[in-house]
Structure 1
Amino acid sequence: MRIWGKVFGFIIGYMFGRLGGAIFGLWLGHMYDRRQSARAGLGSSSKRQALFFNTTFAVMGHVAKASGQVTEIDIRIANALMDQMRLTGDARADAQAAFREGKESDFDIHACLKTFRLISMGRKELLQMFLEIQIQTALSDAKLDPKEHTILSTIAKELGFSQKQLDELLARWQAEFNFHQQGGAGHQTSVADAYDVLGMKESMSDQDIKRGYRKLMNEHHPDKLVAKGLPPEMMELAKTKAQDIQAAYDRVKSDRGMR
């Protein structure tokens, strides 16, 4: 029987959230031990992956509850994300349990995120991927409730992102939603949305566009993210993001006549 995840989670949670953090850390450690029971070893990378996985769905549940109650749409969105990640069996059960935990009225999101940031060792790309998943969830119904925005601001702050950085990510994800609505790669998509997906401006030079594109692809490279702690189950999300960046860049290149 594995217990070290519980011990580790309890201690770290208590350090950052006292009793509330300790309780959450104990639960998170239990989920980690459960997911690790079928794996050999306790490497730091696999530990980060398990904690990333469980924290993602717990915070998703909390975001879903932000507007007052979890609706059928919220549940469908969560299940759609699980489907996109091809979660089945124990992995899906773990995700559903974490989602339910996040919906509880005593869920301490501050302690949760402080623990997550510590375990992630401040890896910016990993923390940004986490934040983007929460943004994607909040925007999946094509609107952003003011209470959802408040919680996203809390998440961003706890993870070390400024309000300006959050607003920029929100704008990019809104553009990405529009980009998909218009058909995505190979269709008549808006050039303006393509620029917004990339977080760039039409006034930028071709060289700056290329430099920015390479930076984005490096930040969202699925293999690099998994190596830094992204759960393998979430690689499909990273692949989709990378494909959207590529499609937006191709649209901008075509409009500019770039090679």
Structure 2
Amino acid sequence: MLGVVAGHYVIDRPLQDNEVVFAVALIALSAKMAKADGIVSPSEIRAFEEVFKVPPEERANVARVYKIAQQDVAGFEAYARQVASIYKANPGVLEDVMDALFHIAKADNKVLQSEIDFLHAVADIFGFSDFEFERIKLSHIGGESDDPYMILGITPEISDEDLKKAYRRLARENHPDTLVARGVPQEFVDMAEEKLKKITEAYSRIAKSRGL
């Protein structure tokens, strides 16, 4: 059985069926993400290894799954649906997966449109709205827009009450303590701190404009 689960969680006990499915699906998704621009670069493989903390005794198993999956992008939707079905009640974990995939996409210092399309398709399967995807994307690669509503993944029509709820949810999900509790690597905790800063700044701008 694979010794990794949830992208970067090392398991020191026998895995349950869902955990095996999740581990295999996430390895395959990561490999297909690397292939989305047509070439799997050494930097993308290193990025994968940074996300997956694989025990030495399981490296051959993980490498075998990765090698098969990286041959082409086809079939990534099925793996994304498997991940989504297992963690549909835990969007925080699904966003961790998106963070991991963005980490791989950025590894060669450029993110092509084919990679953005891949990531957007995965986010859609995970149940993230277009606004939520834009928020996640902006936290990784920036963009032309610094619209605070876009950063929070909401629209200007949102009520003050729902605005506060959206901010609190994002702040809670991206708080470093929350990520530490989920067992993510320190690199992702650092990333969350930067995301939380952007989220707080965006909320402050909106709150000020509304007189809250």
TM-score by structure 2 length? 0.66
Aligned length: 200
1:61 Cα offset (Å) = 0.9
Question: What is aligned with 1:244?
Answer: 194
The CA distance in 2 between the partners of 1:138 and 1:106, in whole Å, is 14
CA RMSD of aligned residues (A): 4.5
Q: Is 2:42 aligned against 1:72?
A: yes
Note the C-alpha offset of 1:120: 1.7
The aligned residue for residue 169 of structure 1 is 136
Structure 1 residue 219: Cα displacement: 1.0
Gaps of 5+ in 2: 154-161, 204-212
Once the two structures are superposed, residues 176-201 of structure 1 have per-residue CA deviations (whole angstroms, 9 ceiling, x without a partner) of: 9xxxxxxxxxxxxxxx98x799649x
CA contact (8 A) 1:53 1:95 kept: no
Aligned positions of 1:1-259 closer than 5 A: 31=2, 39-40=13-14, 42=16, 47-48=18-19, 50-79=20-49, 81-82=50-51, 86-105=53-72, 108-175=75-142, 199=152, 214-221=168-175, 232=183, 234-245=184-195, 248=198
Structure 1: runs of 5+ lacking an equivalent: 1-29, 177-191, 201-207, 254-259
The 1:217/1:109 distance shift into structure 2, 3 A limit, reads: same
Could you say if the C-alpha distance between residues 101 and 245 of structure 1 is closer, same or farther in structure 2, counting changes exceeding 3 Å? same
**What is the letter of the counterpart of residue 37 of structure 2?**
S
Specify the SS of the correspondent of 2:27: helix
Query: 1:26 is matched with which residue?
Result: none
Equivalents in 2 of 1:246, 1:211: separation in Å? 15
Is residue 156–residue 166 contact of structure 1 (8 Å, CA) maintained in 2?
yes
Amino acid paired to 2:24: N
Tell me the secondary structure at the aligned position of residue 127 of structure 2.
coil
Report the Cα distance in structure 1 between the residues aligned to 2:108 and 2:152, rounded to whole angstroms: 22
Q: CA deviation at 1:108?
A: 1.7
- Give the helix-richer structure, 1 or 2: 1
